[in-house]
Structures are given as structure tokens and as C-alpha cells.
Amino acid sequence: MAVDDLQWSDTASLRWLRHLLHRADDLPLADIATLGPEDARSNSAGIAAAVPLFQHRLTLGGLSDEAVGSLAEEVLGEVGADQRGVGGAG
């Protein structure tokens, strides 16, 4: 089960998630959630109660401008001379 943007979950959804996580230890179930920045959390108390129930936590930092450029080039290809300056690139 995947929950994206856990910080926007309402109280009832967080209660259900905590209920599931308490009972899922013996089930073949992967529970994955993403959580945005602290200032975006609309239900801090509910999230604080749910987050410790996940067995593993990984904190990812933001990408640097260079990393974003490398990733974009890898996916989209190298920007050609005729594309430079279009849409703010190059």
C-alpha cells in the first residue's frame, strides 16, 4: 500500500492507517508513505502518531541544480544548440 503526501491526510484516514499498521506485522504487506516538509503538515498530531509505526524510515534531501540537470539530460537527452534559451534552458 502506498500513501503519497501523508501530510495532507485527514484525521479519519490517519486513524485507519494507524489501525492497519498495528495489525499488519504478520501480513505480507508493504506499507510505503511519503511525507512532505514540516511546514506542510496539516495534521501534525495524527502524523506524529502514525510515523513511528513504519518499521523503516528514510530521509531524502533535495536535489542540487546540477543533479536535476543531469537527471533531465539522462531522461530527455542533451540540449542541442537550437534548443538553448528556449524555456529558460541554457
Closest alpha carbon to 59 in 85, 36, 27, 26: 36
Closest alpha carbon to 22 in 65, 66, 61, 52: 52
CA distances (Å), origin 81, targets 65, 75, 84, 85, 89:
20, 18, 5, 9, 11
The reported pLDDT for the residue numbered 36 is 82
Q: What is the pLDDT of residues 70-79, one digit of tens each?
A: 988 999 888 6
> Is pLDDT at 41 greater than 90 in this prediction?
no
Backbone torsions φ then ψ of 33, nearest 5 degrees: -140, 145
How far, in Å, CA of 78 to CA of 90, rounded? 11
